[in-house]
């Protein structure tokens, strides 16, 4: 544990790095947002192309399952993206007051 700016943190920051709960290291967060957004865009593009090209011959059961899987997959990706901002942090950027039963459950299971 360490104290920085009057806040007790759950971990000790490495030399040269200062703990900061308001502005944690944003490289992982930004990379995740870019990657997840690109993958959602590709997913939607490919599913739409499949539906458009199969529209003339008829939509089959497999197309319905593909659309359902895409919706569920994109929803999971968006949920993970929203959790990144609070739960994907280094230990030295997590104030000790955040760590309770609900935080541990959410950060380890995503619920």
Q: Are residues 96 and 84 in the same domain?
A: no
How high is the pLDDT of residue 103?
66
Note down the domain range covering 60. 26-88
Q: Do you know the residue count of the chain?
A: 111
What pLDDT tens digit does each residue of the chain (111 aa) get? Answer: 555 556 666 667 677 776 666 665 556 677 778 888 899 999 999 999 999 999 988 999 999 999 999 999 999 888 877 776 666 666 777 777 777 777 666 666 655
How high is the pLDDT of residue 44?
95
Paired tokens of 106: 């959410």
The number of folded domains in the chain is 2
Q: Are residues 42 and 93 in the same domain?
A: no
Q: Are residues 20 and 73 in the same domain?
A: no
Q: Are residues 44 and 71 in the same domain?
A: yes
Q: Are residues 83 and 95 in the same domain?
A: no
Q: Are residues 12 and 39 in the same domain?
A: no
**C-alpha torsion sign, points 57, 59, 61, 62:** positive
Q: Are residues 38 and 11 in the same domain?
A: no
For residue range 40-50, list pLDDT tens digits in order: 999 999 999 99
Paired tokens of 56: 């003339």
Q: Residue 3, SS3?
A: strand
């Amino acid at each position: 544990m360490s104290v920085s700016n009057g806040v007790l943190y759950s971990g000790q920051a490495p030399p040269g790095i200062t703990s900061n709960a308001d502005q944690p290291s944003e490289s992982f967060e930004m990379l995740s947002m870019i990657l997840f957004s690109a993958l959602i865009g590709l997913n939607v593009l490919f599913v739409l192309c499949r539906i458009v090209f199969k529209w003339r011959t008829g939509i089959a059961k497999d197309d319905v399952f593909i659309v359902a899987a895409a919706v569920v997959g994109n929803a999971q990706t968006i949920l993970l993206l929203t959790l990144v901002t609070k739960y994907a942090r280094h230990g030295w950027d997590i104030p000790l007051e955040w760590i309770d039963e609900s935080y541990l459950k959410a950060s380890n299971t995503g619920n």
